[in-house]
Amino acid sequence: PVMWLPDELVVKIFGCLTSVRDLVRVTAVCTKWYDLGNDEFLYRKFLSNPSSPAYLPPAELEARLSRVKSYKTVYMQIYSKLL
């Protein structure tokens, strides 16, 4: 079963998702997946991907991170403006 996979591998698999919408869906499966789905690596991926609607150029991303210290927080700020 998937639940026996190491956490690092599950996060890597989640990293293959192509949208935050999909990530939100898998984090609804169980508490463990919710916790793993909130990994900063995943939000960094979406913010760093030029094809993502939430993409930020590296300099702007670093500037925002210097203020909030969390990729997820930066993503949520960008996403709220996209709505």
pTM (2 d.p.): 0.78
Whole-angstrom distance, CA of residue 38 vs CA of residue 11: 9
**HEC profile for 2-54?**
HHHCCHHHHHHHHCCCCCHHHHHHHHCCCHHHHHHHCCHHHHHHHHHCCCCCC
Residue by residue, pLDDT tens for the chain (83 residues) are 777 899 999 999 999 998 888 998 999 999 999 999 999 999 999 999 999 888 999 999 999 999 998 999 999 888 887 65
**Nearest 5°: phi and psi at 33?**
-70, -30
